[in-house]
Amino acid sequence: MSCDRCQKPATVHIKEISGGAIRELHLCDQCAAEQGLAAQKHASFFESVNALIIGRTADEVKNLKCPDCGMTWKEFKDTGLLGCIRDYDIFAVQLAAWIETAQAGGNHHTGKIPAARLINGPDYVRRKQAILQMKAELSQAVSDEDYRHAAELRDKIKAMEEQAG
């Protein structure tokens, strides 16, 4: 079987089931690498399954872009640097394999935990992050003079801040 992109022998085969439709993708090593899929061979079974469940085509992977900072998967692969913490969610599947390779199989943190996280529970950082995002939306709403939306956001932020402690 040959690669869907360049006709070289395909070594990476992906079957994707999305919305009842089945799509197949066959790639050679090089094209798979360019699509951020090469490390799948070294990735855990879980990660491979995860990639299938999320069901993105190669083009979708290539065009993945963080809505917050504008980072693309290609840009990350060129520079080795991410643009914001949300990139860790946006590129979670591709990064999982990349990280396992770079970290010699290490894939979860076992070291120091910030005191604030210990005191305020596991969702602390995520809640803080959500509040920050809403604050950005709030200042956007104010500058757009959308005061109804701004008032809603302000009340939500207040409630969340009380909860976050």
Partner 1 sequence: MLTLESMPNRPCHWLMGEGPKNDILISSRVRLARNLLAFPFMSKATETQREEIQTTLRSRLEKLKEAPGHLYVEMSDTHDIDRQMLMERHLISRQLAAPDGSKGVFITEGEDISVMVNEEDHLRIQAIAPGLQIQECWQKAGMVDDELEAGLDFAFSDKLGYLTACPTNLGTGLRVSVMVHLPALQLTGKIDQIKQAAKDMRLAIRGLYGEGTEALGDFYQISNQTTLGRSEQEIIREFNDQVVPRILQAESAARELLVEENPLLIDDRIGRALGVLSHARLLTAEEALYHLSYLRLGVTLGRISGLELGTINNLFLLAQTAHLQKIRGGELDEATRKAVRAEFIRQKLSRGNL
* Three state DSSP letters for 9-66: ECCEEEEEEECCEEEEEEECHHHHHHCCCHHHHCCCHHHHHHHHHHCCCHHHHHHCEC
Among the listed residues 122, 143, 148, 162, the single contact to partner 1 using CB under 8 A: 122
- The tokens for 12 are 């990476």
Q: Is 69 near partner 1 (CB under 8 A)?
A: yes
Q: 79-118 mask for partner 1 (x: CB under 8 A)?
A: xxxxxxx--x------x--xx--xxxxxxxxxxxxxxxx-
Q: For the CB of residue 108, give the shortest distance to partner 1 in the complex, in Å.
A: 5
Q: Which letter does DSSP use for residue 40 in this model?
A: G
Query: Distance between CA atoms of 28 and 97, rounded to whole angstroms?
Result: 18
Give the tokens for residue 104: 């010699």
Instruction: Tell me, residue by residue from 9 to 48, as one string, x for binding to partner 1 by CB under 8 A and - for no binding.
Output: ----------------------------------------
Shortest reach from residue 120's CB to partner 1, in Å: 10
Enumerate binding residues for partner 1 (CB under 8 A). 68-71, 79-85, 88, 95, 98-99, 102-117, 122, 125, 128-129, 132
